[in-house]
């Protein structure tokens, strides 16, 4: 079923006309009268509509909460990677249920986009997030943004109830350990009982993190975790960590 994000959901029983990019998309889909599509307000609410007059005049149904949104907000923090690796991570992280994606500079980052270059990248990354949200039937379009420094990234990421930083040289403390410590708060099997509402996952660039950066992360309150005995690429680590967390939450 085709999915369109709109600013505000129309009232049930009303007729609604798609416009702009949504209308162009509807034309490409060659929608026929009687087919159904979904409108979503980007804030977790959606409604199923019937195509009244192709390609873009819709008969609006009642609004309901989107069932695809995780009950725990998981933000993914990614050190700027080289080339177009960020595009892959953003697309797949949105499909997996990430609530937000934040990019930041760290010591070993080769790519450090700034100014207009960063602005252009953020615009493209946000479009990728929107497309992935539509494809995966998300109820929100996760924000993609960047912060100016590693310190700022630590301060924000550490505000989550479970703030995790994945480090390739950690061996004694795993993601499994971190999740086990807060197992009751996760409310496995009973989402309505979850005390933890926000988790942050932070990963490094191609060169990982320096020892000094890890000490700063510990001081900020981040939990330093291993993702196992294998060294993962910078574009693999955030997706592996996110998938594991979603599985633990019962979202997969």
Instruction: Please state the domain extents for the chain.
Output: 2-65, 73-248
Residue 131: alpha-carbon gap to chain centroid = 12
Tens-digit pLDDT profile for residues 238-249? 999 999 999 998
Please name the fold of domain 73-248: Alpha/beta knot (3.40.1280)
The CATH number of 2-65, from 2.60.40.3620, 3.20.20.60, 2.40.40.20, 2.40.240.20, is 2.40.240.20
What is the model's pTM?
Answer: 0.85
pLDDT band at 194 (very low <50, low <70, confident <90, very high): low
Tens-digit pLDDT profile for residues 48-76? 999 999 998 999 999 999 888 998 999 99
**How many Å apart are CA 21 and CA 88, to the nearest integer?**
23
Q: How many residues does this entry show for the chain?
A: 252
**How many Å apart are CA 176 and CA 202, to the nearest integer?**
16
């Amino acid at each position: 079923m085709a999915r369109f994000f709109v600013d505000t959901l129309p009232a049930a029983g009303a007729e609604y006309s798609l416009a702009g990019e949504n209308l162009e998309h509807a034309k490409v889909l060659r929608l026929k009268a009687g087919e159904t599509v979904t409108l979503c307000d980007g804030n977790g609410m959606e409604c199923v509509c019937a195509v009244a007059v192709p390609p873009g005049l819709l008969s609006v149904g009642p609004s309901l909460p989107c069932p695809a949104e995780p009950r725990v907000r998981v933000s993914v923090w990614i050190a700027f990677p080289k080339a177009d690796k960020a595009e892959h991570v953003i697309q797949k992280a949105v499909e997996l249920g990430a609530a937000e994606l934040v990019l930041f500079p760290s010591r070993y980052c080769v790519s450090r986009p700034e100014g207009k270059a960063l602005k252009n990248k953020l615009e493209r990354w946000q479009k990728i997030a929107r497309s992935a949200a539509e494809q995966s039937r998300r109820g929100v379009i996760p924000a993609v943004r960047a912060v100016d420094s590693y310190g700022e990234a630590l301060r924000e990421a550490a505000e989550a109830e479970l703030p995790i930083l994945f480090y390739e040289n950690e061996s004694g403390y795993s993601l499994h350990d971190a999740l086990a410590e807060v197992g009751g708060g996760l409310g496995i099997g009973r989402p309505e009982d979850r005390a933890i509402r926000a988790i942050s996952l932070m990963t490094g660039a191609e060169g990982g993190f320096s020892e000094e950066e890890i000490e700063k992360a510990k001081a900020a309150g981040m939990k330093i975790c291993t993702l196992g005995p294998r060294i993962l690429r910078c574009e693999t680590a955030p997706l592996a960590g996110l998938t594991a967390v979603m599985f633990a939450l019962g979202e997969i």
